[in-house]
C-alpha cells in the first residue's frame, strides 16, 4: 500500500480510545486491539493504531486515494463520536510516499 496518512488523537486515555474504536467498528471491519496497539482493516485500506504517551497515533495506508479517504473518514467519524465528553479530534496529514 503506497499512500499514507497520519494523525495523533490527543487524549489522556489513548489505550481506551483505541479499544473503543475497534469495538465500535468490529462488526463492519477486521479489527484488533492488544498490547496498546491494533488495526482497523477493510475496503482496500488499513489503519494502524498505537498508544503513545501523548495520545493515539493513527497511520492509514491504502493503494488508492479513494480507499485512503474512506478509512480516514470512518476512523475520524467514529473517534469523534466515541470521544465524548473529551471532544476528541482527528486531523489527518498526508505523508510523502516512500
The rounded Cα 28 to chain-centroid distance in angstroms is 15
| Closest to 92 in 3D by CA, of 3, 6, 14 | 6
Q: For the domain 3-95, what is the CATH code?
A: 3.30.310.50
* For residues 13-18, average pLDDT: 94
pTM exceeds 0.85: yes
Asked if the model's pLDDT at residue 98 lies above 60, the reply is no
pLDDT tens digits along 22-65:
999 999 999 999 999 999 999 899 999 999 999 999 999 999 99
Going by C-beta distance under 8 Å and a sequence separation of 6 or more, which residues neighbour residue 11?
17, 55, 56, 83, 86, 88
Amino acid at each position: 500500500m503506497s499512500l499514507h496518512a497520519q494523525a495523533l488523537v490527543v487524549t489522556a486515555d489513548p489505550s481506551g480510545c483505541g479499544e473503543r474504536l475497534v469495538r465500535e467498528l468490529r462488526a463492519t471491519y477486521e479489527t484488533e486491539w492488544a498490547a496498546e496497539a491494533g488495526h482497523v482493516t477493510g475496503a482496500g485500506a488499513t489503519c494502524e493504531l498505537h498508544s503513545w504517551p501523548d495520545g493515539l497515533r493513527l497511520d492509514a495506508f491504502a493503494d488508492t486515494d479513494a480507499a485512503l479517504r474512506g478509512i480516514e473518514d470512518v476512523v475520524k467519524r467514529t473517534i469523534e463520536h466515541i470521544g465524548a465528553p473529551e471532544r476528541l479530534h482527528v486531523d489527518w496529514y498526508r505523508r510523502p510516499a516512500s
